[in-house]
Amino acid sequence: MSVDIKLEILPSGMVRFKRGDKQHNEMMALVLSQIVDDPEVMEELSCFFKGSEDIELLMGDTIFCG
């Protein structure tokens, strides 16, 4: 996976971004930690990221989740 970091701030103020492998998630967590000033939210993000770190991609470079 690429380590390019892309996040989108939606009109509602919500932030949308892709999950990735461990390296991508660590970079995204670093970026988000500069924006988010709430330890509980950062813990939720950490759990969200951990859900994709052990997934092996068979095709492509994108993990989709609903």
Q: What is the pLDDT of residues 6-65, one digit of tens each?
A: 888 889 988 888 777 788 888 888 988 998 889 999 999 888 888 777 666 666 666 565
CA distance 59 to 1: 11
CA distance 52 to 25: 9
Q: What is the pLDDT of residues 17-30, one digit of tens each?
A: 877 778 888 888 89
CA distance 45 to 26: 11
- Structure pTM? 0.63
| pLDDT at residue 1 in the model | 46
